[in-house]
Amino acid sequence: MNTLPGVWLDDLTQQEVASRFDGKAVVLVPVVSAGIPAPHLPLKTAGLIARALCQKLMERLAVAVAPVIDAHSFSHQQTLGQVLGDRLDTVRALGARRIAVLEISASPLGTLEVPGEGLVLRFGDRIGDGEYLTSCLMALDPRSVRMPLLPASSRSEAFAGERGMSAEVDRIAAALVSMWPDLI
């Protein structure tokens, strides 16, 4: 059986977490916020793209990925801060010492901080671009795109989404490896 270097944190048992988190494990905490997507895209768009990016990162690097936090589902920044703080406390309680918050957003969510040996990676200069989101969704789940509602001028295509996500994964992986070279 061919196993990935990375893993979804939720897939591990308490015992597996203890053996994996030797103080060197890197935990990714994805936080997404893309607002209300275009009329032809479902509400799940940003979360689906975040999970796809994390899956591709797990195929490359020995990271454990926590469940995605959807910042748009909270009405106040303070609440997001509390939820993120709770998630960070949980992964620290599991033994994680190296944590990266992966913020995927069209605009910065405010001051997201990771105390200790941590990193906040902000990606999303293209998240606000409807063409990019549509192209990504066409690559990931084409039946979710409401084609009759897609503007006639759209140049979205699945291949562009695949290329865009691949470039994002390259950038995220490079940032993680520059912080923690032993991830390779």
pLDDT of amino acid 124: 62
Place of tokens 């390779």: 184
C-beta neighbour count of 39 within 10 angstroms:
10
- As averages over each run of 10 residues, the pLDDT of the chain (184 residues) reads 82 88 84 79 88 95 92 69 86 89 71 67 65 92 95 92 93 93 86
Residue 58 makes CB contacts below 8 A (sequence gap 6+) with: 4, 5, 6, 7, 8, 65
pLDDT of amino acid 109: 60
Residue 153 makes CB contacts below 8 A (sequence gap 6+) with: none
pLDDT of amino acid 1: 44
- DSSP-derived 3-state class of residue 147: helix
Domains, the chain, with CATH or none:
7-178 (3.40.50.10310)
